[in-house]
Amino acid sequence: GESVGLHLPTLSVQEGDNSIINCAYSNSASDYFIWYKQESGKGPQFIIDIRSNMDKRQGQRVTVLLNKTVKHLSLQIAATQPGDSAVYFCAENRDNAGNMLTFGGGTRLMVKP
Q: Please state, in angstroms and rounded to a whole number, the distance separating the CA atoms of residues 33 and 21.
A: 14
User: Could you say which of 22, 62, 63, 105 contacts another protein (CB under 8 A)?
Assistant: 105
Q: Is 49 in the site for another protein (CB under 8 A)?
A: yes
Pick between residue 85 and residue 93 the one whose CB is nearest to another protein: 93
Partnered with residue 88 across adjacent β-strands are 37, 107
User: How many other CB atoms are found less than 10 A from the CB of residue 57?
Assistant: 15
Are residues 24 and 35 in contact, defined by beta-carbon separation less than 8 angstroms? no
Are residues 109 and 88 in contact, defined by beta-carbon separation less than 8 angstroms? yes
CB of 96 to another protein, least distance (A): 9
Residues 63-92 close enough to bind another protein by CB under 8 A: 89, 91
Question: Which residues bind to another protein, rule: CB under 8 A?
Answer: 1-6, 32, 34, 41-46, 49, 89, 91, 93, 95, 97-106
